[in-house]
Amino acid sequence: MFLCLFSAPVLNVLSRAIAQRQAFTWRSYIPLLLLLTVLTAALTWLYLSLSDEFTETLVSRGEVLTEPRIFLVQCSEDYENHKRFPGCTPTKCGRAVTDSVVTKEEAQVLKRLAERGLALGGSDGGASILDLHSGALSMGKKFVNIYRYFSNQISEVFTEEDFKLYRDVRGRIQKVIAETFGLDSSQMYLTKPTFFSRINSTGAKTTHDEYWHPHIDKVTYGSFDYTSLLYLTDYGVDFGGGRFVFMDSNSNRTVEPRAGRVSFFSSGSENLHRVEKVVWGTRYAITVSFTCDPDHGIADPTLP
């Protein structure tokens, strides 16, 4: 109705003015839209670069390493805060993985040992431990001493052959660590905690079940100088998730567990690490730890 008040030339002028104003309005938003596009792309790249899909795999489950695969890193200053022991205190730091120290059959025997022991207890959450040295066994939301709590059943659960294999495997792991890092193995001592672990996807009930937090072994356990993991089950076959992740400054680097695989590393902050949450199945492993300080050494376990 109002348009009828204007002549055709006037309407043409008004139409062009409106069109120009609309064009100007959209052009004024173009820099902002470009900025938002760039920011969105940058945030997407950052998210993806931090996700597990972009994590580098140091050793996959499908590989079989007949010789240690060694990755050297610069030693941290953590060791300066502790007494130094020539021939043992780390001066050459890094991480290594090998499949030639423990056979798959031996790993299966050790897994059955762990299963029998943990069958007597087990955490209410997703992470349970069995320590043959101290006797510590997860039980609900606490720990008990398996040798005392189940003293009448121990002879039915463990055998001397089990303990002999455990001691022999410990010795082999100690030897390969010494050879890899150029150490005097006689100056290395088993230390605590050294234990079997069983992890599944059950939700955590206590802080003891929260195994996935990043940590540094030398900081968490002052006695640790070298840490090793012997895996007793296969990633992607027996469980999902549960990879071991070295958290380096420029990327995450993972080791995929394989039954019989031994992964070991110097325990300082040069090897900040975590374990992924297990999302299905059950992951079994043994943590075998070594110190250079004889005052923190522990003996091999013996059957009571």
CATH number at residue 284: 2.60.120.620
**What is the model's pTM?**
0.83
User: How deeply is 224 buried, as exposed, middle or buried, from its count of CB atoms within 10 A (0-12, 13-18, 19+)?
Assistant: buried
Residue 92, in any domain of the structure: yes
Residue 103, in any domain of the structure: yes
Residues 38 and 65 in one domain: no
Q: What is the pLDDT of residue 24?
A: 47
Rounded CA-CA distance 213/61 in Å is 23
Q: What is the pLDDT of residue 81?
A: 87
Residues 31 and 77 in one domain: no
Residues 174 and 227 in one domain: yes
Regions of the chain with pLDDT less than 50: 1-7, 10-11, 13-14, 23-24, 26, 41-53
Q: What is the pLDDT of residue 16?
A: 60
Q: What is the pLDDT of residue 51?
A: 47
Residues 27 and 116 in one domain: no
Residue 233, in any domain of the structure: yes
Residues 16 and 144 in one domain: no
Query: Tell me: the pLDDT tens digits for 191-219?
Result: 999 999 999 999 999 999 999 999 999 99
**Per the residue annotation, which of 198, 253, 258, 283 is the catalytic one?**
283
Q: What is the pLDDT of residue 78?
A: 92
Residues 45 and 193 in one domain: no
Residues 17 and 100 in one domain: no
Q: What is the pLDDT of residue 18?
A: 53
Q: What is the pLDDT of residue 43?
A: 47
Write out the residue range of the structural domain in which residue 43 sits. Answer: 2-50
Residues 221 and 116 in one domain: yes
Q: What is the pLDDT of residue 2?
A: 40
Residues 135 and 215 in one domain: yes
Q: 61 an active-site residue?
A: no
Q: Total domain count for the chain?
A: 2
Residues 68 and 46 in one domain: no
Residues 119 and 214 in one domain: yes
Residue 302, in any domain of the structure: no
User: How deeply is 133 buried, as exposed, middle or buried, from its count of CB atoms within 10 A (0-12, 13-18, 19+)?
Assistant: middle
Q: What is the pLDDT of residue 28?
A: 55
